[in-house]
Amino acid sequence: FLYFPETHGISFRIQIGVKELLDTDVLLNLLFHLPVNYPSALPDISVNSDQLTRAQCMDVKEKLLEQAKKHLSEPMVHDLILWVQQHLKDVIKQPAAVCNEKTTLSKGTEDGIWMLLLHLDHMRAKAKYVKTVEKWASDLRLTGRLMFMGKIILILLQGDRSSIKEYLILQKTSKVDVDSSGKKCKEKMMRVLCEIEVQSQHKRFQMFEVKEYSALEELQKEFETAGLATLFSEFVPSLLK
């Protein structure tokens, strides 16, 4: 427990484990700050978890604050903890897995599901670079593949158009790699091969995975399985020249 002086009310941290869909425990760190005039005023809540993305933590926090409003003027922390244990899996369901292709595409180009194919020239600090890409994909709820085949490095992403745009900004402006002298540097050799709206013949990736392929045929098969044979033949063979 963390107590603050009377004038600031009380803050305390609670860690709870919640059984998830696949029977794994999600550990949630909840920080409640109760103002001096609590419970007539709402607590300030922050939510953190290593197993959830930043967006999911924000969703949980918003839902908890909605619940808190229903309990205004009565002690509520215990009820909020019970509520999150019962409803966590409904709150964090990935929209990508449940959204139906037709409804997604009929929403209009701006907020349909988009796909991005990027080509990277090299990765000097590979392990760190890969970790960074995985974290961004997770935080922005993007699915797809980071693919290595010989010297070819491709990133294929699917998700909301706004998230894809945000990913591109991160990729261009963050120091993701190191230069020849070992200094951190930004990605200057990235090319956007294509950015298109996901069509009905394209399969949706359920997660983001890092994969290595020993031959071009293997890489081609990955694209074909996802209904992206045209994308492959249009952009990938030319990278070998």
In tens digits, the chain (241 residues) has pLDDT values of 444 455 567 778 888 888 765 566 788 889 888 888 888 888 889 998 888 888 889 899 999 999 999 999 888 988 998 999 888 888 877 543 333 333 333 333 345 789 999 999 999 989 999 999 999 999 999 999 999 999 999 999 999 988 999 999 898 889 888 888 889 988 888 888 888 888 877 888 999 999 999 999 999 999 999 999 888 988 898 888 7
Among the listed residues 20, 11, 14, 93, the one whose alpha carbon sits nearest the alpha carbon of residue 48 = 14
> Is the domain of 86 the same as that of 176?
no
> Is the domain of 58 the same as that of 156?
no
The CATH number of whichever domain residue 216 belongs to comes to 3.30.70.100
> Is the domain of 197 the same as that of 122?
yes
The CATH number of whichever domain residue 71 belongs to comes to 3.10.110.10
Q: Which residue has the tokens 């796909």?
A: 115
Q: Is 108 a member of any domain?
A: no
Q: Is 135 a member of any domain?
A: yes
Q: Is 103 a member of any domain?
A: no
**Domain of residue 36, residue span:** 10-93
Of 93, 126, 147, the residue that ends a domain is 93
Query: DSSP letter at 50?
Result: T
The predicted-structure confidence for 202-211, as pLDDT tens digits, reads as follows 888 999 999 9
- CA dist 137 and 131 (Å) reads 10
SS3 13: strand
**Residue 74: count of CB within 10 angstroms of its CB:** 9
